[in-house]
Structure 1
Amino acid sequence: MHVPDGFINAPVSVAAGVAAAGAVAVSLRGARRELDERTAPLAGLMAAFIFAVQMLNFPVAAGTSGHLLGGALAAILVGPYTGVLCVTVVLLMQGILFADGGLTALGVNVLDMGVTTTVVAYVVFRLLMRALPRRRSTVTVASFVAALVSVPAAAVVFTLIYWIGGTTDISIGKVFTAMVGVHVLIGIGEAVITAATVGAVLAVRPDLVHGAKGFTNPLKLRVDGRLIDAAPAAPAKPAKAPKPAVAVASRSARGLLAAGLLTALVLAGFVSYYASSSPDGLEKVAADKGIDRNAKEHASADSPLADYGVKDVDDARLSGGLAGVIGVGVTVVVGGTVFWAIRRRRDDGRDLTAGPAAAPLTEKV
């Protein structure tokens, strides 16, 4: 659903850019409360994983494909504020390096794919978590429904933005019907991917799922044949068990991060070659309804990585695979740096006010 240059006029694009900048600023402040030494690396990985999975277009109807938007997945795993930042990092990398999504339309894309999907999904998720029975399966079910709803919600927001600032004179009713109809189908794919990913993390490290905090039982780790809480309370006198538990929990988190990064690299570097080549939902609707009449060539069309291929590499499989691997690598580095800086900002603020008796960070693993 990446909006290219030329779909939306300049005044509305500028207004969307200002609104998106405000949303990112709010998210930067909110992310300080969501990120800690465990979740900051996960957030960087989350951005890279979204980048990788967005390369995997899946067929949804005759001549149409869809791909993950990622807002729901990010919001549930790392929190809504951090989720907005994750998707924003992905959109920046795609627009600047891969000529995917117009640079003048970056604000529109952040509002639509980043803010709308994340906020709508998280609100739906929290409502379902309160209404449904208190079981671990509820987290997966709520993730599925939240992701499903978030995609047509983004289609509605695009339609509203186009109604206000579209550059072609097209019946808005026809655009609305076509956009929502195809994106309901895409939402099913989004829901399956989101629920599967959340369920996988929940099975391994439920303490790292932001949306499940206070809902699932404390993580238990087996140390020397005994089950120990991953985050035990500080004992009155030194005890040997908590230290191994913390060490095992740290290794578990590192293993999850390594597995996630490897998965993202395989998806982007290999599986993406087999993705559907059909236009995605927005591209199909734009071509059918004439929205793309005034589309402009991307400013980064001559980028060495434009269109997810490496320039001057003739083998399509190798070119796409290298581009995917580079994209994952750059995204995880940029995202990881951003989230590490946010966490440091939070730590610095806490250290200025915390007394000498403040609980050590290692107890929060």
Structure 2
Amino acid sequence: MHVRHSAAVLAATVVIGTATPAVAASPSPSPALPSGLYGSTDPTYDGVWRQSLALIAQHQVDVEPATAAVGWLAGQQCANGAFAAFRADPSKPCDAKLMLDTNSTAATVQALSALGGHDTRTAKAVTWLKSVQNKDGGWGYAPGGASDANSTSVVIGALNASGADPAKVLKDGRSPYDALLKLSLPCADGGAFAYQPDKKGKLTANADATAAAVVGVLGLGMTSAKAGAPADLTCADAAHPTPERAAANGAAYLAKAVAKEGYLQSVLPGAEDQPDYGNTADAVVALAARGGTTAAAGPLRWLERNSAKWAAQSGPAAYAQLILAARACGADPRDFGGTDLVKRLTATGPAPATASRDDSGTSVWWVVGAGLAAGAGIGFLLSSRNERKQP
């Protein structure tokens, strides 16, 4: 699920010309960037986000990330448990000027929970998230901000990953699902979700918010969303829709939105009828989670044919989104329309700690010794890796 955000981040993304926190790739790496960070662009608005997605995607394909990469992400945490989009100097305590946000915090919880061994950090982060929950049960991007579908959904993913039951995380008796259901629209409006009400309280269908909310209202996140059983994706009104019903309605909206061209359109000003690759990848995950692989097949095929250039320009978060979309549908991220997404993602950061698992489920560790190289040649050891931890 690709989550996008408060007014501050949305404003920033308009400035940098994308629909996501990811920034267009620069021609050459900046020497000032931390060595453990994925990507070569300015991390001010998306450093923690893209790092989290990169680590989640690598975990999903059984690549153990570099210790430096994990350490950089963990080291971004503030003393109160929260994360900001980026801290240039983690040795300095977080102060009141630093903009903490729920999206960076929740994405990090999902990444560190998947990798394991960071229970203290993730527990502190979840405690902070609970402390800034709104009275409607949801979350905004910034603490105290109005709840939105995207932020609420990424926090649900964090709760899921940390072992908490989102339905039991209440504020004034309301859960995150209550907040999302308030943002769901009737079938007359396509059954979509709104990002958040406008100043007059009106809800407007938003494909990005819908893709996030379908996964969120099912109680899933980036580490747990996978293809569900094949299901009919028709919209059906109910006086008091259940989360499952709202998810089906949202998926029906997405299915209709991608039916003609195979992709979701960009909502940026001046981008009429222009594909939004990231949102389309999110829609694939949402459609697979609620309607099964058949429901997601069309936009997945479109991404396989058309996303390589976008991912190369956009960097690690884009590769991660495509890997998660492929995994949700049972496709091979190492041969995604002829592109090895895993290799491309790995190339944007420090070398991973281990080799990846091959298709048979066996890890291949190449052990090269100087004596062997001079004598009998190169030996190798095949060892089975335990099934990765399921969040």
Same fold at TM > 0.5: no
The structure whose Rg is larger is 1
Higher helix share: 1
Say which structure, 1 or 2, has more relative contact order (CA 8 Å, 6+ apart): 1
Q: Tell me the TM-score normalized by structure 1.
A: 0.27
Q: Tell me the TM-score normalized by structure 2.
A: 0.26
